[in-house]
Amino acid sequence: MAYSIKAVSSIHDIGQACWDAAANPYLSDPDCGIPYDPFVSYHFLSALEESGSAAAASGWAPYHLVLDEDGETRGVVPMYLKSHSQGEYVFDYNWADAFERSGGRYYPKLQISVPFTPATGRRILTPHAEKSDEYTEHLISGVMQVAKKLDVSSVHVTFATKDQYDKMGELGFLQRTHQQFHWLNNDYECFDDFLAALSAKKRKNIRRERRGAIENGVEIERLTGADIQEQHWDAFYQFYVDTGNRKWGSPYLTREFFSLIGERMSEDVLLVMCKRDGRYIAGAINFIGSDCLFGRNWGCTEHHPFLHF
């Protein structure tokens, strides 16, 4: 077989059909064994690029890899040339400082990840096939070649699945661990079923907090698909910016990003908006996978006890 690997400066150079065939084979075969992941979809990553959220000007220069076999795309890697460590949710500033103090140049580095998204998922993207391990090894070899050509200090793969984490360890990557908390639906048919699994004290506290969240006249709306309009994005963006300004000083996502995902992947979005006295005061954005709901950003312009994610 004739393999070729190339690096491109925009996901558009690969195209939606080729990218999604490798990143989300679930779209064409729901029984493929790989769940749908909205964060590695073409629509999500291209919206980050087009909106300027993840672009060279913001320190996230796209450097995606694509593997072809006899002219057919067999794998892709979402990769970025980084000039800083912001927006990764893995804090390597001490590593950078130590590297610089020892006489090295830590930046630029190569980052294989979904920008601004600490959700675990596949990072070396190949269709489910007999040769997926072989394709993965070719792609990682291509990453190493790019790293050598660009003379970067390091390559980082963040929030990878356990099997890819193990595979990269076998191939010589240093491995670091982190911790996440996931809520699992243990066949609950309604919220009361979930509460029944808790102690009486916890049930009482949760019911009290849920009442308290809306006792000041707060109305909660759940919007998805065509129900999400630009007015909702306008309001939500203000919530998002407010949270960013208070927590880390510089929100990563631009206003255009939200319009783009609303236009292209609104069925993958659950927007929870809270209204009081006829105006929106808080909101949270969630992304919908085939087997998981991912809560991402939250913000508000009024404080109400217990009103949060």
34 and 146 fall within a common domain: yes
Question: Do 145 and 280 sit in the same domain of this protein?
Answer: no
CATH number of the CATH domain containing 267 = 3.40.630.30
Shared domain check, 113 and 59? yes
Tell me, yes or no, whether 161 and 221 share the same domain: no
Tens-level pLDDT at each residue, the chain (309 residues): 688 999 999 999 999 999 999 999 999 999 999 999 999 999 999 999 999 999 999 999 999 999 999 889 999 999 999 999 999 998 899 989 999 999 999 999 999 999 999 999 999 999 877 788 899 999 999 999 999 999 999 999 999 999 999 999 998 999 998 888 899 999 999 999 999 999 999 999 999 999 999 999 999 999 999 999 999 999 999 999 988 777 666 789 999 999 999 999 999 999 999 999 999 999 999 999 999 999 999 999 998 999 876
Is 187 part of any domain? Answer: no
In a domain, 192, yes or no: no
The verdict on residue 152 lying in a domain is yes
Tell me, yes or no, whether 139 and 82 share the same domain. yes
Instruction: Tell whether pTM > 0.75.
Output: yes
Q: Which two tokens stand for residue 179?
A: 């911790």
* Domains identified in the chain, total number: 2
Examine the domain organization and report whether 152 and 253 are in the same domain.
Answer: no
Domain membership flag for residue 202: no
Same domain? For 163 and 224 the reply is no
Question: Which among 170, 192, 226 is the end of a domain?
Answer: 170
Same domain for 152 and 23, yes or no, is yes
Last residue of a domain, one of 116, 149, 170: 170
On whether both 127 and 249 belong to a single domain, the answer is no
CATH of the domain at 116: 3.40.630
User: Do 165 and 66 belong to one domain?
Assistant: yes
Q: Which domain holds residue 70?
A: 3-170
Query: What is the reported pLDDT for 67?
Result: 96
- Same domain flag for 77 and 153: yes
Query: Does 199 fall in a domain?
Result: no
Whether 27 and 98 map to the same domain: the answer is: yes
Tell me if 180 is assigned to some domain. Answer: no
